[in-house]
């Protein structure tokens, strides 16, 4: 996507930001929005205050942090234009699941001190722990935190973040089906969320299936770079893999009796290095620019056309304490000088 000027892009972005409305009837998405994941697994990252200035300069008003980091949350004080998604750490789930009092203490320590001047919009309970050994801990923690939020009339939604490993089948999208473990652990969570139309947060990475089979999966299909239908699924035609994965998850939910539940794309992206010619600056830039264009277009997916979508790119910076290889190269900016790795915003 080519923008005539940075100012034009920021003006356009500011007008079509997603508007959240949280109340007892649930979550309503009325437009489309791009946010950024703010990971902290690096020993050379800029100060949070400088990162917030970066977000302001590129028009980002939604960020996701993976734990209630006090330095970041304190830096966010007074930046009410930035909506923050705060994660509960995976290692804290067991204690919170075992005791409602522990959940109260978690909120008192990690949320309450910031309510007056930090715009916390989401609490996410665990990151990609369903399906898995600690997956059953998610539902009781979500129930406790949801009850706490409701009892205090806080405009905060409580959900969890899941990966596409929950899908037993995803091709074609209409055959989307959950694994048996996902049916056991995820479906009760989805049904809890559906009571208030609170979204489930999903991580969707076309990079991974493409990298596993680059011979048979067209790169343009994986990177939103063609309008040609590659997968015809009954009356629905798919010209990009992202939509196909997204809709496979929607189909899987519907097979479990969960319909019309909103999805927020909590992570997507493409590494710019780490796996040879599958991870170049050009490919990463193409994918992320086209993802932004896709979300801001408001056209939705073939199964959910003209449906608002909220999407978070992963990630703000390359993080040198993540596993070596592609994991260290999903960032949009170099941490040392905060310069873009490739042109996006």
State the catalytic residues.
128, 267
Number of H helices, E strands in the chain: 12, 12
Of 71, 75, 30, the C-alpha closest to 55 is 75
Rounded distance, CA 334 to CA 320, Å? 11
Instruction: List all residues 6 or more positions away from 183 whose beta carbon is below 8 Å from its beta carbon.
Output: 256
Other Cβ atoms closer than 10 A to 325:
12
**Distances, alpha carbon 146 to alpha carbons 48, 137, 195, 267, in Å:** 29, 14, 12, 23
Rounded distance, CA 245 to CA 302, Å? 11
Instruction: List all residues 6 or more positions away from 210 whose beta carbon is below 8 Å from its beta carbon.
Output: 217, 219, 222, 241, 278
Give the up-direction half-sphere exposure of residue 256: CA atoms within 13 A in the CB hemisphere: 25
Name the strand (E) or helix (H) holding 312: strand 310-313
Rounded distance, CA 172 to CA 214, Å? 18
For 181-203, the DSSP string reads: HHHHHTHHHHHHHHTTTPPEEEE
């Amino acid at each position: 996507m080519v923008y005539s000027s940075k100012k034009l892009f920021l003006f356009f972005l500011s007008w079509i930001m997603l508007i959240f409305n949280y109340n007892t009837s649930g979550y309503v998405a009325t437009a489309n929005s791009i946010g950024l994941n703010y990971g902290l697994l690096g020993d050379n990252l800029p100060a949070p205050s400088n990162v917030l200035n970066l977000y302001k300069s590129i028009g980002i008003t939604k960020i996701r942090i993976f734990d209630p980091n006090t330095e970041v949350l304190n830096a966010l004080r007074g930046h009410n234009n930035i909506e923050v998604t705060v994660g509960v750490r995976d290692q804290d789930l067991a204690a919170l699941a075992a005791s409602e009092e522990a959940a109260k203490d978690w909120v008192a320590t990690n949320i309450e001190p910031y309510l007056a001047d930090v715009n916390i919009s989401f609490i996410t309970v665990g990151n990609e722990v369903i399906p898995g050994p600690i997956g059953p801990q998610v539902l009781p923690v979500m129930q406790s935190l949801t009850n706490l939020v409701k009892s205090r009339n806080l405009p905060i939604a409580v959900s969890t973040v899941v990966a596409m490993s929950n899908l037993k089948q995803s091709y074609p999208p209409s055959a989307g089906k959950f694994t048996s473990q996902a049916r056991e652990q995820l479906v009760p969570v989805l049904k809890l969320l559906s009571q208030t139309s609170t979204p489930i947060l999903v991580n969707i990475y076309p990079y991974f299936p493409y990298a596993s089979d680059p011979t048979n999966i067209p790169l343009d299909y994986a990177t939103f770079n063609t309008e040609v239908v590659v997968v015809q699924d009954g009356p629905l035609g798919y010209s990009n893999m992202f939509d196909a994965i997204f809709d496979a998850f929607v189909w899987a939910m519907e097979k479990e009796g969960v319909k019309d539940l909103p999805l927020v794309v909590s992570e997507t992206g493409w590494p710019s290095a780490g796996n040879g010619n599958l991870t170049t600056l050009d490919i990463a830039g193409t994918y992320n620019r086209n993802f932004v264009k896709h979300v801001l277009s408001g056209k939705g997916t073939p199964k959910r056309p003209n449906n608002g979508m909220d999407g978070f790119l992963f990630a703000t910076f390359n993080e040198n304490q993540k596993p070596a290889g592609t994991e260290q190269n999903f960032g949009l900016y170099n941490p040392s000088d905060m310069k873009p790795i490739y042109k996006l915003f």
